[in-house]
Structure formats: C-alpha cells, structure tokens
Amino acid sequence: MTEGSIKVNQRPLVQRSAPKNKVGDEEKEEVFMVVKQKEYTDLSPTQIVPILADNGL
C-alpha cells in the first residue's frame, strides 16, 4: 500500500458467527403471535413489554 492510497473496506467480507443472544425462529413466532393480538395492535414495543412483564410473561 502506498502512502495516501485508500484501502478497500474488508469488513463486509469477514465471516462472523451468530450472536449468542440471537432470537430463534420459534421465539420470533411466539413474539409475533403475542403482538398481533388485538389488545396490542395499536401499541409500540415500549408499551407492550411492560404490560407483558406485569402479567408475568
């Protein structure tokens, strides 16, 4: 590499492992089933989460 030249970004090419806390397909489906319920349709996630926590979910 010569001085002043720009090197091509190699980060997108690196193979990365999935994060340990990645949500699985079953968990995603369960979340979608809950948030699609009529009582939650007009609420944001920041409103849904405390309601679910209060209900022990």
How many CA atoms lie less than 13 Å away from 9 in the CB half-sphere?
2
7 vs 3: CA distance, rounded Å: 11
Q: Is the pLDDT of residue 46 over 80?
A: yes
Residue 27 lies in a domain: yes
pLDDT for 13 equals 84
**What percent of the chain is predicted at pLDDT more than 70?**
95
Q: Whole-model pTM? A: 0.55
Residue 33 lies in a domain: yes
- DSSP E strands: which ranges in the chain? none
23 vs 30: CA distance, rounded Å: 11
Residue 52 lies in a domain: yes
Residue 38 lies in a domain: yes
- The better pLDDT of the pair 3, 2 is held by 3
Q: Is the pLDDT of residue 20 over 90?
A: yes
Mean pLDDT, rounded, of the chain: 88
Domains in the chain: how many in total?
1
2-34: b (≥16 Cβ within 10 Å) or e: eeeeeeeeeeeeeeeeeeeeeeeeeeeeeeeee
